[in-house]
Amino acid sequence: MAVSASEAARGRIAKRAMRQPRPPGGGRKWIALGFLLPGLLFLGALVVYPLIDTIAQSFQESDTRQFVGVDNYRAAFASDRVVTAIRNTLVWVAVAPAVITGLGLVFAILTERVRYGTAIKLLLFMPMAISFLSIGVIWRIMYEQDPGRGLINAATGAVADTVSSPGPYPEATALPDSGLERRGDVMVSSQQVSPGDTIALGLVSISG
């Protein structure tokens, strides 16, 4: 059966339309790999290699790098602090997302039914922009036990210095072998004492 020229042309056009378009770059995969190679190198050097090396070191002795099997894991799980940390982590992972998600949904529904909902949402959800870990670190620094460090200690010391005198011996210093160390406006002793005990303070430069 003879086929006219117009029908043959229409057939070629139809076949050309059915062809899949070529991907960007003409299908040359090495170009894509060239773009991905720097990122893969950085990912391997900063993430993959440290992860593998850390896992390998967990089966080795810390000083000699000798293989010790699972002795490190046995020692770790024998510590009450490690077990407590693992338990707290599991509780945090299980409880915190559920509580946060549930409270978020409750607040989202309630704020849709009140006036000034946008302002209320801003006040409620702004603290969530900072991670709980960062908040914990910030408050840990603020409540520093060392009296010479921490924002709360600094503010308390500034108020105390303003409303009270610096003490009866503001110029006093400790002898080198007295076991005392000056930390800011206080003297700290390295001696171990029990409640009710007394220690001798070797102080000099005391004005009479």
Give φ, ψ of 186 to 5 degrees: -125, 160
pLDDT of 31: 83
pTM of the model: 0.39
Provide the pairing of β-strand 173-174 with 203-204.
antiparallel
**Structure tokens of 27?**
């299908």
What DSSP state is assigned to residue 132? H
The answer to whether the CB of 146 falls within 8 A of the CB of 183 is: yes
Residues 6+ apart with CB under 8 A from 172: 203, 204, 205, 206
Q: How far apart are CA 162 and CA 24, in angstroms?
A: 72
Q: How far apart are CA 108 and CA 141, in angstroms?
A: 33
Q: Which amino acid would we find at residue 42?
A: F
The CB density around residue 136, as the number of other CB atoms within 10 Å, is: 10
Q: How far apart are CA 172 and CA 182, in angstroms?
A: 10
pLDDT of 96: 83
Q: How far apart are CA 54 and CA 56, in angstroms?
A: 5
Q: What is the pLDDT along the chain (208 residues), one digit of tens a residue?
A: 444 556 555 666 556 555 555 655 555 778 878 888 999 999 999 999 999 999 999 999 888 888 988 888 988 888 889 899 999 999 888 888 888 888 878 877 877 777 777 777 777 777 777 777 788 888 888 887 777 777 788 888 778 777 766 555 666 666 666 677 777 666 777 777 777 777 776 665 565 5
The answer to whether the CB of 152 falls within 8 A of the CB of 142 is: yes
pLDDT of 3: 47
